[in-house]
Each structure stands twice: as C-alpha cells, then as structure tokens.
C-alpha cells in the first residue's frame, strides 16, 4: 500500500472510490495500491507514505525522492522470477507453487523485488518478466503462473 495526500491523489487523477495502482520508482520499482493519507496513521506533507516493506521493495529511505505513476494493471498470466541468490535445486518448484498464494490480489511490476519465506528460509527474487508483455503492472491471481528463470 502507498498512502498519498488528497492533493496528490487529485494531481495523479486517482479515483478515491476504487483501488488505483501505482508504480513507484526509487532505486528499484515497486507497485502498490493507492490510498488516501486520511485512512492512515501516517502523516507527511507533500509526500507519499510507504511502510518499511514498501521502502525495502523500492530500495528507498524516509526522505528519498521517488517517481510515482498511475498505471492500469492487467490480469497476470505469467511471472518470471530471478533469484537474487542461488537456491537449492528442487526447492524452486515448491516455492513457485506457494508464491502466488502469498501475493494473490497484489500488483507486480518488472524490476520489483519480492521476499518469500518457505520452510524457515527466506527467498529473494527480482521480477524479471511478466505476461502480458505490454503491462506496466499485473495483478497476481490464483491463475497466474510463476517460474524461475
């Protein structure tokens, strides 16, 4: 989730009656559902509120500048993940079986980093590719296929 001031919501043309998707570009890309700051305990002036998880995904710190873009995510068909560290052969198939359930109904963008804990081990992946190809972001569903590439 990303929290924005009402003035920024209007500036970006976001609809407060529906969930709009943002791609946030810091040192890395991150995708998030946009919410008004008035629904958050966070308060900032002329800024975006990102929790620690979103700041880690975008690789930014409090006070850093980010670029925010409103996008229309498409239904995700396929996601190719690239492990940040080598993973044990045979584990990737099991991890790929569970990752979609962990991030279901969430947006993903190429270049985004995700963390997933499985059987006491944390796996870190970069989103290398998504289908459909022309999507700025996709929404993960139970039908989205994941692969390690």
CATH of domain 74-148: 3.10.330.10
Give yes or no for a cis peptide into 132 (omega within 30° of 0): yes
CATH 2.40.40.20 domain range(s) in the chain: 2-71
pLDDT at 39: 52
Domain 2-71 has CATH 2.40.40.20: yes
Give DSSP secondary structure letters for 89-113.
TTHHHHHHHHHHHHSTT-EE-TTBE
Contact 70, 31 (CB under 8 A): no
pLDDT of residue 21: 92
Q: List, run by run, the mean pLDDT of 10-residue segments along the chain (149 residues).
A: 85 80 94 79 65 92 92 94 82 76 89 86 90 93 88
pLDDT at 17: 67
What residue spans in the chain does CATH classification 3.10.330.10 cover?
A: 74-148
């Amino acid at each position: 989730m990303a929290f924005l001031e009402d003035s920024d919501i209007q500036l970006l043309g976001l609809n407060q009656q529906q969930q709009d998707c943002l791609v946030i570009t810091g040192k890395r890309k991150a995708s998030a559902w946009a919410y008004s700051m008035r629904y958050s305990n966070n308060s900032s002036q002329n800024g975006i509120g990102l929790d620690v998880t979103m700041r880690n995904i975008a690789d930014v710190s409090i006070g850093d500048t980010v670029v925010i873009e409103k996008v229309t995510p498409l239904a995700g068909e396929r996601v190719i993940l690239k492990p940040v560290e080598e993973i044990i052969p045979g584990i990737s198939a099991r991890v790929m079986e569970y990752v979609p359930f962990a991030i279901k109904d969430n947006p993903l963008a190429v270049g985004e980093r995700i963390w997933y804990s499985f059987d006491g081990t944390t796996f870190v992946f970069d989103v290398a590719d998504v289908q459909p190809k022309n999507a700025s972001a996709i929404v993960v569903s139970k039908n989205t296929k994941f692969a390690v590439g």
